[in-house]
Chain A
């Protein structure tokens, strides 16, 4: 989902990304790791034109950012629509999008946005303050991301090209929230006529426009000739004439199609194939870091998870390095916090060590000194990574006397069990940031009772979460989030973090300057084809 996603019913549809690894990439790719130099590198030899065909395990089911929960949906919509601001390519700061600049009042409550003169919708109409207000009001009233604008008091038109957003109270993450794709801008008349229903043919302002959308098969995007953002050659992005997003569920088939030249690229290549593909000259393998964390879910109201010592022992008994090596072929990074490593305010000093001796000792001191058997660990059926994690955890938890039975359950049944809190433990769920600020993630883990059934953080911890959400000084905010991460590690709330997974992309050799942000957004408008 736009803002984040945890666990997918389809399970197998893994979403990953990582740091750029490969030297295979052509000349134009040399600068990819350090984004800042990219523009320079691309200007020299860029070739315009051509259509890129790209495969995902599933293609977007919804093109209305208010009503989608799927990562693929939101990252593709990010190529079609935009809001006032957007996350920068490294997802570390907010940068101008439809607003070319903004100003903030001294009390931090009023934000004034100055709309970009060149910004036009796909149908050629200029973007006005009315469009912005209509879109944001819809997002504030409807859909899954209402919370993102919950503290907004008014959205007012100052003139055709100026909008003022007034808050009830300071919201540290307000710009990050506005950068979420749910707050994208659509023409006022489309917003009005769509109303509560779902937007199916979005007229956006992004670099690509929808030409054809065939459910569960493909989505054809054409270049937007009026896109406001200029490339280094002076002409507007995108370089490509279009992008075709295809649904290819079988991972091995994706790889073969790329090697045969039938596909330009694909995401979600099995980790285990990466070493071999790196050596294969028929394609280029690119990994990008992403704000994604895999974890085990445990329900704290059920024994033996009701004892914090047991939970601490469970976390200590997991050798995360082994998880990374076995389940992700060494590509992921062992987790040290519930917050994703490449995200803002991640605490590098937090730690989740492996210490079997201490784990056994904690078990002896716990309410369950003889361990416990018959614990059911469920996973969404068909999820390879969920199964791998479960099999690994089964052996490691067995060492401290917790006997686990693995049960694959179909994803929808598991979602229902989750919704009704009718489970003991779950493997294969993950969280992927859709918002660059950790505010939502932290709220969800500490304040929202659903994520951690039965987890009751101390009043102090809850107060810190609230303070961090309102703190406008980044340094003070960092201190708060640092501590919050340490508290969660000690409490071992309803999730035990395992590792941070990269996005693995495999491309034909002539695709250049492909880049995926840590939020998963592919910058197709900066991608070009060498032939």
Chain B
């Protein structure tokens, strides 16, 4: 009910937005989520300071050791300290998760909004591009892009961005199709608001919710997609520490050295939880109106 009141007051008025910001801070999951993400970000920045060891330095004397006081998360087959590798890995994985989610989100929102709002030729064109893109098998596309561009982090970004925007565009377009015929949108147009203003002020705030919430999941999905590329050996190049590659490399240790696949997996889960909490918190405010 609170949401409805807020939404009812949203139609083009500023005070509603201020109350939104205040509301955001009252959501515990949003606060916790943001705190976690900031924490992870801090780890990424401070990795050289907080990591107890050099993440790529091999020390054969202490290879494949379970967690201990000297190596809190154990060591891998080259005797590298896993905690240090995970801390350094934060840099890569957070970047993959964020860049490969938010650039596609922006592209997708733009394309989806224009396409859904105007319809017609523009819509047809975008939808056909999306159809072709979506009809291309995910892995074939990823592998082909990486194979053509060559392996490496930057090319992995390109590949994931190229693949990622489609989901957002489709989501936004679907919501806009519904929302643009609803009373508030019709009303906004009736009082003479321009298209850009209708889209930006009235439609998007009301329909962006599912896309943003999905984006929070997509952060993790992108980290996992990066991991899949690492499985195929087309992601981050060794010996650079990256969580997905660490899991891929520890495949053979699933049954014998649990800490090798478990902790990088846990790191992904923590980042996942952080963004999911943000998504949860935001979803309360960004819910689409259907009335």
| Chain A contacts to B: CB under 8 angstroms | 11, 251-252, 255, 270, 272-273, 275-276, 322, 325-326, 379-384, 387-388, 390-392, 394-395, 405-410, 413
Contact of A383 among B77, B143, B233, B234 (CB under 8 A): B233
Residue interface bits B218-255, CB-to-A below 8 A is 1, else 0: 00000000000001111001110000000001011111
Contact A326 B252 (CB under 8 A): no
**Least Cβ–Cβ distance between A379 and chain B, in angstroms:** 8
Contact B151 A408 (CB under 8 A): yes
**B147 beta carbon closer than 8 Å to chain A:** yes
Q: What is the number of residues of chain B that contact chain A, defined by CB distance less than 8 Å?
A: 27
Contact A410 B147 (CB under 8 A): yes
Measured in the bound complex, the distance between the Cα atoms of B254 and A251 in whole Å is 11
Measured in the bound complex, the distance between the Cα atoms of B63 and A390 in whole Å is 17
**Which chain B residues border A395 with CB–CB below 8 Å?**
57-58
**Which chain A residues border B252 with CB–CB below 8 Å?**
251-252, 270, 272-273, 384
**B136 beta carbon closer than 8 Å to chain A:** no
Beta-carbon nearest neighbor of A410 in chain B: B147
Contact B238 A272 (CB under 8 A): no
Assuming A272-B77, A326-B77, A384-B249, is B237 touching A407 (CB within 8 A)? yes
22 CB-based A-B contacts, threshold 8 Å: A251-B252, A252-B252, A272-B64, A272-B253, A273-B255, A275-B256, A325-B60, A325-B63, A379-B233, A381-B151, A383-B233, A388-B77, A390-B238, A391-B238, A391-B239, A392-B78, A394-B239, A407-B151, A408-B237, A408-B238, A409-B150, A409-B151
**Which chain A residues border B77 with CB–CB below 8 Å?**
272, 326, 388
Contact A387 B78 (CB under 8 A): no
**Which chain B residues border A275 with CB–CB below 8 Å?**
256
**Least Cβ–Cβ distance between B79 and chain A, in angstroms:** 8
Chain A CB count within 10 A is highest, among B143, B237, B239, B252, for B252
Measured in the bound complex, the distance between the Cα atoms of B78 and A390 in whole Å is 12
**Which chain A residues border B239 with CB–CB below 8 Å?**
391, 394, 406
Measured in the bound complex, the distance between the Cα atoms of B231 and A391 in whole Å is 17
Contact of B233 among A255, A326, A382 (CB under 8 A): A382
Contact B237 A381 (CB under 8 A): no
Contact B143 A410 (CB under 8 A): yes
**Which chain A residues border B143 with CB–CB below 8 Å?**
410
Contact A406 B151 (CB under 8 A): no
| Chain B contacts to A: CB under 8 angstroms | 57-58, 60, 63-64, 77-78, 143, 147, 150-152, 231-234, 237-239, 249, 251-257
Assuming A252-B251, A387-B238, is B233 touching A410 (CB within 8 A)? yes
Tell me whether chain A's interface is mostly helix, strand or loop, or mixed: helix
**Which chain A residues border B63 with CB–CB below 8 Å?**
325-326
Contact B256 A272 (CB under 8 A): yes
**Which chain B residues border A407 with CB–CB below 8 Å?**
151-152, 237
**Least Cβ–Cβ distance between A404 and chain B, in angstroms:** 10
**Which chain A residues border B257 with CB–CB below 8 Å?**
272
**Which chain A residues border B151 with CB–CB below 8 Å?**
381, 407-409
Contact A252 B233 (CB under 8 A): no
**Which chain A residues border B254 with CB–CB below 8 Å?**
252
**Least Cβ–Cβ distance between B261 and chain A, in angstroms:** 11
Measured in the bound complex, the distance between the Cα atoms of B240 and A394 in whole Å is 12
Contact B237 A406 (CB under 8 A): yes
**Which chain B residues border A390 with CB–CB below 8 Å?**
238
**Which chain B residues border A270 with CB–CB below 8 Å?**
252
Beta-carbon nearest neighbor of B256 in chain A: A276
**Which chain B residues border A405 with CB–CB below 8 Å?**
237
Measured in the bound complex, the distance between the Cα atoms of B249 and A390 in whole Å is 14
**Which chain A residues border B253 with CB–CB below 8 Å?**
272
Contact A381 B238 (CB under 8 A): no
Assuming A255-B255, A272-B256, A384-B252, is B234 touching A410 (CB within 8 A)? yes
Contact B255 A276 (CB under 8 A): yes
**Which chain B residues border A384 with CB–CB below 8 Å?**
249, 252
Measured in the bound complex, the distance between the Cα atoms of B63 and A109 in whole Å is 57
Beta-carbon nearest neighbor of B147 in chain A: A410
- In the A-B complex, list the 8 residue pairs whose CB atoms are closest, starting with the nearest: A381-B233, A270-B252, A382-B233, A408-B233, A276-B256, A406-B238, A272-B252, A395-B58
**Which chain A residues border B249 with CB–CB below 8 Å?**
384, 387
**Which chain B residues border A383 with CB–CB below 8 Å?**
233
Measured in the bound complex, the distance between the Cα atoms of B239 and A255 in whole Å is 28
**Which chain B residues border A409 with CB–CB below 8 Å?**
150-151
Measured in the bound complex, the distance between the Cα atoms of B151 and A407 in whole Å is 7
**Which chain B residues border A410 with CB–CB below 8 Å?**
143, 147, 232-234
**Least Cβ–Cβ distance between B65 and chain A, in angstroms:** 13
Beta-carbon nearest neighbor of A329 in chain B: B77
**Which chain A residues border B150 with CB–CB below 8 Å?**
409
Measured in the bound complex, the distance between the Cα atoms of B150 and A379 in whole Å is 13
**Least Cβ–Cβ distance between B53 and chain A, in angstroms:** 14
Beta-carbon nearest neighbor of A272 in chain B: B252
Measured in the bound complex, the distance between the Cα atoms of B234 and A252 in whole Å is 21
**Which chain A residues border B58 with CB–CB below 8 Å?**
391-392, 395
**Which chain A residues border B147 with CB–CB below 8 Å?**
410, 413
Assuming A381-B234, A409-B151, is B255 touching A326 (CB within 8 A)? no
Measured in the bound complex, the distance between the Cα atoms of B63 and A374 in whole Å is 28
Measured in the bound complex, the distance between the Cα atoms of B253 and A407 in whole Å is 23
**Which chain A residues border B256 with CB–CB below 8 Å?**
272-273, 275-276
Contact of B60 among A326, A387, A388 (CB under 8 A): A326
Measured in the bound complex, the distance between the Cα atoms of B64 and A322 in whole Å is 14
**Which chain B residues border A276 with CB–CB below 8 Å?**
255-256
**Which chain B residues border A11 with CB–CB below 8 Å?**
233
Measured in the bound complex, the distance between the Cα atoms of B143 and A107 in whole Å is 58
Measured in the bound complex, the distance between the Cα atoms of B256 and A275 in whole Å is 9
**Which chain A residues border B152 with CB–CB below 8 Å?**
407
**Which chain B residues border A255 with CB–CB below 8 Å?**
255
Assuming A273-B256, A392-B78, is B232 touching A381 (CB within 8 A)? yes
**Which chain B residues border A325 with CB–CB below 8 Å?**
60, 63
6 new A-B contacts, CB < 8 A, other than A273-B256, A325-B60, A381-B151, are A251-B251, A272-B77, A275-B256, A379-B233, A381-B234, A387-B233
**Least Cβ–Cβ distance between A424 and chain B, in angstroms:** 15
Measured in the bound complex, the distance between the Cα atoms of B253 and A276 in whole Å is 10
Beta-carbon nearest neighbor of A413 in chain B: B147
Measured in the bound complex, the distance between the Cα atoms of B249 and A384 in whole Å is 7
Beta-carbon nearest neighbor of A256 in chain B: B255
**Which chain B residues border A326 with CB–CB below 8 Å?**
60, 63, 77-78
Measured in the bound complex, the distance between the Cα atoms of B143 and A463 in whole Å is 47
**Which chain A residues border B64 with CB–CB below 8 Å?**
272
